[in-house]
Each structure stands twice: as structure tokens, then as C-alpha cells.
């Protein structure tokens, strides 16, 4: 049965427990979230010693996993078997191993909760196991979150913590960390434990607990470039050049590439109103403000040239097409000059 992370967790919290969970896909955050809940909550502490088994895919084959699964619990209603890094089980995708597992899934031991954590990829749907997994298990297939969906994800995650968050704080987190949900959630947790319930996370909290400067960060650099604020850009480049360890060039270049890629969409729109650009970029109007402003400052040719300069800076920062030693600070200074002119 294919389902969502939220519905799986809801069922688990309501004691609706299935005999087999197959958690697979590109986004490990939800796989870990569900596996951790099962590991911590299905059995009592006194039951875990004899009835909870955790193995790693690289250390076991399908036969070993099923031997654990076919045991009966000791002095408990059920046992839990969790297979972490299941994508590394050597014979899982081979015919013999696949057949053994399918045979078990057709008739699982009802007192066993068997959990597969198959990260970074999904089973091949062309093969027998991939075709049947949805019918025989509680099956979760995760996908990487798209960048334009990240702000809403952050807002929802913060809300579940009983907190609010400002739009600027959302942008600071999204731009600085990117779509790694594990890192984003860890940083939000770090902020949450330092704030009373009902508080609002603002840029000051992000600066204090995550270490992202509220005035000197890539988000502010994007805003300054969007408005062609030469003075502010110059101050920020000076700061970044003096603090290269805290502000490494490669992540800055990657974020600027994302910004100018979206700006390319924005300047190509006939409707350059905030709502028109927000619709084209599939984001809330607030988050489209910088793109709407930049679309009045840059033309299509300038944005295309900007993307070219960003690509060249990325190559140079990695030692490609670089003549002699040029510092990261110098590369950034040259890049923003070309972006502004």
C-alpha cells in the first residue's frame, strides 16, 4: 500500500502497525523519521533488549534478514527488525534474494514489524519485487523536494514545532542550506530548543543559533544584486573576502546560479507583476519580490551573460580554466562586477 510520511506516522501513533514497511527513495529525511519513530516507540525499553534487531544492508543478505523476521518475540507482543541502508543488501535485487523476500511478504509473521530503509533510490518497477512491493507492504517512495517548495516546507515544519517564522528567516534558511531536509530540520530544531513555545523565528534567531549573518549572507547579496545596489554589493564582497572560511565561494556561486536561473524565467515573462512572476516561478508573491525587482533592472541578454559568468567562476573556483592563483575573494569580486555591468 503506497502512502505518505504523514499517514504512516499518524497510523503508528494510533497503534495501527503493519507487519512490513518498505521505505525507499531519493529523500532520506522521511525514511529516517519513520524508522526512528518505530525504533523508539513500538517497543518499551524493557522489551527492546530481546525483541529489537537493527542490521545494516552491507552486513547481511536477504536470508539473514528473514531469519530475524521469522523469530517469535520473547515476553512481548511483537518484535521489531530494522534494516538500515537496505539498498546495500547484496542480493536484494538479485533473483534468488528477491524471490525469498517476496515469499515472506506474501505471508509475513504477524508478530514481527520488519522495516526496510532503502535510501537514495527506489526499487526497479520492471522487476518482480518492484512490481509487488506496493501491494505487499506499507510502501513509501520519497522524492527530493523542489527548491520552490522548500519555503512552504520550512513554514510547515516550524509550525509543527509550535513556532512561527518570518518570511526573511525562511529565505535565509532556504538560501543558506538548500534542499537538504535533514540539515534544514536540524537547524530549525537547534533554534526551537532555544525559544519558548509560540515564539517567532526571525532573522536575529537564525543569525544567533545557525550562524547565518542577517546582514551579510547570500540572501542579502541576491537582494543587492537584484536592485543593483553597487554600494551594498561592494560592502558584502569585502566582508565575504575577509571571512572566506565562513563564506566559501562554491556554495555562493551555486546559490547565485539558482537565483539567475529563476531570474531568466522572470525576465522572459510578459506579465512582470509580482503575481505574474510568482505564478511563473511557482512561489508565493513575497518570495518573488526580488525577481520582480530584478526583472525591471536586467534584460534578457544581461541575465544570460550573468549565467555565463557564474558558470565560468564556478569552473575557475574548481581549478578549471584558471590562469595562475586567484583567491576566492578576487573571483567573487570579479563575478559581481560582471553581473552588475
Q: Residue 26 belongs to a domain with what CATH number?
A: 3.40.50.300
Say yes or no: 259 and 305 in one domain. yes
Say yes or no: 201 and 187 in one domain. yes
Q: What percent of the chain has pLDDT over 70?
A: 98
Range of the domain at 261: 218-340
Say yes or no: 10 and 133 in one domain. yes
**Each residue of 287-299: pLDDT tens digit?**
888 999 999 999 9
Say yes or no: 229 and 162 in one domain. no
Residue 322 clears pLDDT 70, i.e. is over it: no
- Between 328 and 115, the more confident residue is 115
Q: Residue 190 belongs to a domain with what CATH number?
A: 1.10.8.60
Q: How many domains does the chain divide into? A: 3
Say yes or no: 151 and 138 in one domain. no
Query: For all residues of the chain together, what is the average pLDDT?
Result: 92
d(CA 218, CA 339): 15
Phi, psi dihedral angles at 119 (to 5 degrees)? -90, 155
Residue 244 clears pLDDT 90, i.e. is over it: no
Q: What angle do CA 265, 266, 269 make, to 5 degrees?
A: 90
- DSSP letter at 280 equals H
- For residues 7-35, average pLDDT: 96
Residue 321: pLDDT band by 50, 70, 90 thresholds?
A: low
Number of Cβ atoms within 10 Å of the Cβ of 224:
21
C-alpha cell at 35: 524508522
Say yes or no: 72 and 95 in one domain. yes
Say yes or no: 132 and 236 in one domain. no
Closest C-alpha to 119, from 76, 60, 57? 57
Q: pTM value?
A: 0.77
- Between 215 and 293, the more confident residue is 293
Residue 191 clears pLDDT 90, i.e. is over it: yes
- For residues 193-209, average pLDDT: 91
**Each residue of 245-264: pLDDT tens digit?**
888 899 899 989 999 999 99
Say yes or no: 180 and 235 in one domain. no
Amino acid at each position: 500500500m503506497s502512502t505518505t510520511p504523514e499517514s504512516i506516522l499518524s497510523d503508528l501513533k494510533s497503534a495501527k502497525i503493519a507487519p512490513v514497511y518498505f521505505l525507499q527513495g531519493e529523500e532520506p529525511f522521511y525514511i529516517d523519521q519513520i524508522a526512528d519513530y518505530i525504533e523508539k516507540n513500538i517497543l518499551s525499553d524493557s522489551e527492546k533488549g530481546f525483541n529489537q534487531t537493527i542490521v545494516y544492508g552491507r552486513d547481511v543478505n536477504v536470508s539473514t534478514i528473514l531469519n530475524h523476521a521469522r523469530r517469535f518475540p520473547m515476553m512481548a507482543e511483537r518484535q521489531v527488525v530494522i534494516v538500515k541502508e537496505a539498498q546495500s543488501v547484496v542480493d536484494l535485487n538479485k533473483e534468488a534474494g528477491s524471490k525469498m523476500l517476496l515469499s515472506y511478504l506474501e505471508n509475513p509473521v504477524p508478530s514481527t514489524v520488519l522495516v526496510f530503509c532503502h535510501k537514495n533510490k527506489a526499487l526497479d518497477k520492471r522487476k518482480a519485487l518492484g512490481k509487488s512491493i506496493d501491494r505487499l507492504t506499507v510502501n513509501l517512495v520519497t522524492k527530493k523536494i523542489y527548491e520552490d517548495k522548500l519555503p512552504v516546507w520550512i513554514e510547515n515544519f516550524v509550525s509543527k514545532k509550535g513556532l512561527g517564522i518570518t518570511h526573511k528567516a525562511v529565505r535565509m534558511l532556504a538560501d543558506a542550506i538548500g534542499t537538504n531536509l535533514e540539515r534544514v530540520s536540524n537547524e530549525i530544531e537547534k533554534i526551537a530548543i532555544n525559544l519558548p513555545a509560540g515564539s517567532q523565528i526571525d532573522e536575529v534567531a537564525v543569525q544567533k543559533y545557525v550562524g547565518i549573518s542577517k546582514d551579510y549572507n547570500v540572501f542579502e547579496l541576491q537582494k543587492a544584486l537584484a536592485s543593483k545596489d553597487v554600494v551594498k554589493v561592494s560592502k558584502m564582497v569585502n566582508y565575504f573576502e575577509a571571512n572566506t572560511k565562513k563564506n566559501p565561494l562554491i556554495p555562493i556561486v551555486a546559490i547565485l546560479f539558482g537565483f539567475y536561473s529563476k531570474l531568466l524565467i522572470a525576465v522572459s515573462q510578459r506579465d512582470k507583476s509580482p503575481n505574474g512572476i510568482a505564478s511563473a516561478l511557482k512561489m508565493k508573491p513575497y518570495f518573488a519580490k526580488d525577481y520582480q525587482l530584478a526583472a525591471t533592472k536586467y534584460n534578457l541578454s544581461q541575465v544570460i551573460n550573468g549565467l555565463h559568468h557564474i558558470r565560468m567562476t564556478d569552473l575557475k573556483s574548481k581549478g578549471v580554466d584558471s590562469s595562475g592563483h586567484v583567491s576566492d575573494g578576487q573571483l567573487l569580486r570579479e563575478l559581481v562586477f560582471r553581473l552588475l555591468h
